[in-house]
Structure 1
Amino acid sequence: MESIKNRRTIRKYTSQDIPDSLLNELLEEAFRAPTMGNMQLYSVIVTRDSARKERIAPFHFNQPMVTSAPVVLTFCADFNRFCQWCRQRNANPGYDNFLSFLNAASDTLLVTQNFCTLAEAAGLGTCYLGTTLYSAGGLIEALELPKLVVPIATITVGYPDECPAQPERLPIEGLIHQETYRAYGEQDIDRIYAEKEAMPENRHFVEVNRTENLAQVFTDYRYTKAANEEISKVLLETLRQQGFLD
């Protein structure tokens, strides 16, 4: 698909709204994604109301596209609905555990990617917000999510008002392993990351952060060990509160 080869993240949108009919059609098609045991362990919260967008924006670090996009979609891992169905049919659900959360999260991400591909093919622009799991607890409260429902991914959607450059991708030789996992040598790593490190914008990141190289931008500033460990603790507590951990 040309839309996949040419895809890019869109953060600026026109004022044109997305009709419910189009959005529902795209979501219905997205729900054809593979799913664990054909259980469809996901739900989608559609946010159009400006006040509600303002409420969830802080949980996405106030990134401007949250309030400027006509639609914000929060894709949630959802075992609540399935468990209710089980209980109403005199079946005893045993899905209040970490494996069940992972299964539901996998279902959710498959649907999320399906939606993005379909939306972009239909002429819409999307932006994947990597902040959802960072602020899952706040989003649970703001979106009134019940037990056994956890937000996994947030996508802003609208008609594009920009055409940014595509982000770089690693060469396929660095990502594909034949038959078994092949260990990377030092020269392999140098070759795989050479283009990424040479890009002017990435060299700029190194300069403004005053680091020795791009890897240190990630480890020392973007995704630090301390931050990852703290957010992990909060996320585990959130999963406990939502009924996926004892």
Structure 2
Amino acid sequence: MEFNDVIHGHRSIRQYEDREVSQEVLGRVLEAGIRASSSGNMQSYSIVVTRDKELRKKLYTPHMDQSMVLDAPVLLTFCADFNRMRKWLELNDAPVHFDNYMSFMIGTIDATLASQNCALAAENEGLGICYMGSTLANCDQIGELLNLPPGVVPVVGYSLGYPAEAPALRDRLPQHGLVHYEQYQDYTDEQIEDIYKDRNEKGWQRYMDVPKLKAMTEELGLKNLAQVYTIAKYTKESHLEYSQTILNYLEKQNFMNNGGSN
């Protein structure tokens, strides 16, 4: 495929053919991820490939009962990983640290860069993907199921397989609403209205076109897309709960050393 076609043709795929992804194809996808940029070329991430159906059944619940966990032949989980490097440092009589929040962020960025390289390579191979925010939201449960040792945290994951659907392309905010030249320019109310104009209309219509989603909005008395996002989809309470889950897991996985005395 042409590179621009891959970039501009992305869509989330939730329905998959009953067809395996060969190791040859998967190997090319993973190699593309490994070629991604990384901080200091440390490659502070690991990629967990899950094909086993029984394990995917166990992952179904922490992945919030999303059908593609069972229907796709492969799940990829990208983890911030300083376990491997810490072992290497110890073997070479070097100071062993990387046990703080900055290290977690470095690993998270590395893992995310690798994940997007893999995603583009997969789509170039005719595969489809669907990112799952549940990977980070329920990182503790997923980490336990994937047998992750201290120093490793799942941050990004998606289903992978041959598409059995061709959903319409989703809209994106316009470039002028996302890009700032030289310095950040804060938005006026008028600019916000302009940037979100199409999203307000198309996003709301998408909910109205699906009977189940329309019934939900009516039951909750929602009047616009902003209310859908904050009252139905991403509530303050849920984000606070997930935040605490992540912080607790970072502590457990040895990423919260603040330099203070114990």
TM-score range, shorter chain: over 0.9
* Counterpart AA for 1:86: L
Instruction: Quote the Cα distance in structure 1 between the aligned partners of 2:33 and 2:115.
Output: 8
Partner of 1:115: 118
Give SS of 2:137's match: helix
Partner of 1:239: 250
Write out aligned runs for 1:42-57 (5 A).
42-57=45-60
* Counterpart AA for 1:245: M
Partner of 1:82: 85
Partner of 1:201: 206
1:160 aligns with 2:137: no
Write out aligned runs for 1:17-166 (5 A).
17-166=20-169
Instruction: Quote the Cα distance in structure 1 between the aligned partners of 2:98 and 2:115.
Output: 22
1:226 to 237, 242, 247: 237
Percent identity, aligned pairs only?
Answer: 39
Write out aligned runs for 1:156-195 (5 A).
156-195=159-198
Instruction: Quote the Cα distance in structure 2 between the aligned partners of 1:227 and 1:105.
Output: 22
In the TM superposition, residue 58 of structure 1 has moved relative to its aligned partner by: 0.4
Runs of 5+ unmatched residues, structure 1: none
Instruction: Quote the Cα distance in structure 1 between the aligned partners of 2:241 and 2:76.
Output: 26
* Counterpart AA for 1:237: N
Partner of 2:260: none
* 1:134-160 superposed Cα distances (whole Å, 9 cap, x missing partner): 111101110000000000111100011
Residues 187/202 of structure 1: CA separation in 2 closer, same or farther (3 Å cut): farther
Residues 70/12 of structure 1: CA separation in 2 closer, same or farther (3 Å cut): same
Give SS of 1:99's match: helix
In the TM superposition, residue 203 of structure 1 has moved relative to its aligned partner by: 5.2
192-201 vs 97-106, greater mean Cα deviation:
192-201
* 1:53-94 superposed Cα distances (whole Å, 9 cap, x missing partner): 001110111101001101011111100001101101111122
Give SS of 1:45's match: strand
C-alpha contact 1:203 1:214 (8 A) present in aligned 2: no
194-203 vs 40-49, greater mean Cα deviation:
194-203
Instruction: Quote the Cα distance in structure 1 between the aligned partners of 2:139 and 2:29.
Output: 25
- Over 2 Å off, 4+ runs: 202-210
* Counterpart AA for 1:12: Q
In the TM superposition, residue 231 of structure 1 has moved relative to its aligned partner by: 1.3
* Counterpart AA for 1:27: L
1:210 aligns with 2:215: no
**TM-score between the two structures when normalised by the length of structure 1:** 0.97
Instruction: Quote the Cα distance in structure 2 between the aligned partners of 1:167 and 1:175.
Output: 17
Instruction: Quote the Cα distance in structure 2 between the aligned partners of 1:141 and 1:54.
Output: 14
Instruction: Quote the Cα distance in structure 2 between the aligned partners of 1:95 and 1:32.
Output: 23
> What root-mean-square deviation, in Å, do the aligned CA atoms of Structure 1 and Structure 2 show?
1.2
C-alpha contact 1:9 1:127 (8 A) present in aligned 2: yes
